[in-house]
Amino acid sequence: MSIGWLEVVVATLLVSLVISLILARGRHWLEPSFWKVAAIITSSVMAITLVLLTFHTVQAISMGSKRVPGADVINREIGYVYNADRRAMEPVLGKEVGLFGKVWSPQEAEELIVKGKLVIQSRNCMDCHTLLGNGAYYAPDLTKAWLDPKWDKQIMPMVGASSREEAMKTWLMNPDKYPTWVRKMPNLRLTEDEAKAVTAYLKWMSAIDTNGFPANFPEVQVSQK
């Protein structure tokens, strides 16, 4: 059974009402003491609910949860399909394909992703791009950048790469050499290792279930497992 925000609000108000009526029993509803009890109980129940929701949210957005896959997802083929029941696009995982010619262990993959995140932070990429809803809209949203068909159709032949990750790595190291979108990205002097780490981070991020955000992104099918 799925519990939404409406059920949580109704349950919280109902619990507050019942406990308040029990503890204020014998007091007339026009007495100030009645409303004092109701205010204390309602505030307490709301505070407890917020704490529980906070723990639930932290659990739901942690790596390895249902929506946020583990780091070793970078070894898998990642697709993006429409779920009619949810009325939203969602990531799907295909067969194991590795990344940069190897299958990364969970620890290696996590270290690579963390490095990619640090590289992105060190270059202030969010000054122009958006990641998971944070950042700017001067340049393309990077949340599902790995799934952009443009990498296969345009960038791979442009840079002479044989795979999407090699194309992304090469392009990230030389964006000024391979102008593509309307605005030209400056060369941020990424080393090969840094470009690999950013590529891994973008691939991992594309596997996060973001309820179809960003909108209007095309479907990407994966091979059978």
Token pair for 139: 């340049």
- Give the mean pLDDT of 207-217: 91
Q: Which residues contact 195 (CB under 8 A, 6 or more apart)?
A: 168, 169, 170, 172, 173
The pTM for the full model equals 0.84
- How is residue 178 annotated by DSSP? S
Q: What was the pLDDT predicted at 1?
A: 61
- Give the mean pLDDT of 166-195: 92
Q: What was the pLDDT predicted at 225?
A: 56
From 22-26, 168-172, 200-204, the region with the lowest mean pLDDT: 22-26
Other Cβ atoms less than 10 A from the Cβ of 136: the count is 12
Q: Residue 224 pLDDT > 70, yes or no?
A: no
Report CA torsion sign: 141, 145, 147, 149: positive
Residues 69, 63: Cα–Cα separation, whole Å: 6
Q: Tens digit of pLDDT for each residue in 82-128?
A: 999 989 999 999 999 999 999 999 999 999 999 999 999 999 999 99
- Give the mean pLDDT of 212-216: 88
Out of 51-65, 113-127, 208-222, the most confident range is 113-127
Residues 32, 43: Cα–Cα separation, whole Å: 16
Work out the burial of residue 139: count CB atoms within 10 Å of its CB; fewer than 13 is exposed, 13-18 middle, 19 or more buried: middle
